[in-house]
Amino acid sequence: MNFPIAAVLLAGVMPWICVGIAKAGKRSYDNHNPRQWLAQQTGYRARANAAQANCFEAFPLFAAGILLALYAEVPSEQVDLYAGIFIAARVAYIAFYLSDQDKLRSLAWLVGVGCSVALLVASMGD
């Protein structure tokens, strides 16, 4: 599997990782009403749930950017670079969200979005 496709896979599972963090170790988790239960959480659990939602929001633009870049035959080094930075930015985003560092979280978000946009722009060619 090439790196950009692996990055799409990793970006696709990031929401599950975040919700796993939100649910982990909590014996009172309600599997009958998981969304209601998550909405009532506080602290890092609430932030992990919010990070989950943002991961879902960030995924389509990134996946489209990767697919279009591959279709447009953007140089693989460029696609790999943007994919790698995107994944690193999203991991940092989640870490900053969990640790309640809002300014760094916003910076990581901006870097990730920038990579997705850069992939789309690169797909347009010269």
| CATH code at position 32 | 1.20.120.550
Predicted local distance difference test score (pLDDT) of residue 37: 83
Long-range CB contact pairs, 46-49, < 8 A, 24+:
46/22, 47/97, 47/98, 47/100, 48/18, 48/19, 48/21, 48/22, 48/94, 48/97, 48/98, 49/18, 49/19, 49/22
Q: Give residue-wise pLDDT tens across range 13-50.
A: 999 999 999 888 767 777 788 888 888 888 999 999 99
- Domain hosting 85: range is 3-123
Which tokens in the block code for residue 53? 């939602």
Q: Rounded to an integer, what distance in angstroms lies between the CA atom of residue 42 and that of residue 65?
A: 34
pLDDT greater than 60 at residue 68? yes
Q: Kindly report which listed range (6-20, 36-50, 58-72, 99-113) carries the lowest average pLDDT score.
A: 36-50
What is the pTM assigned to this prediction? 0.92
Confidence label for 1 from pLDDT (cuts 50, 70 and 90): low
Assigned token pair, 23:
């649910």
The first and second tokens of residue 44, run together, are: 């890092």
At 81-90, the pLDDT tens digits run 999 999 999 9
Count of domains in the chain?
1
Q: In this predicted structure, what is the pLDDT of residue 126? A: 64
Q: What is the pLDDT of residue 33?
A: 84
Q: Please check whether residue 7 is in contact with residue 84, taking contact to mean a CB–CB distance below 8 angstroms.
A: yes
Cα distance between residue 113 and residue 85, in whole Å? 10
Query: Rounded to whole angstroms, how far apart are CA atoms 126 and 116?
Result: 18
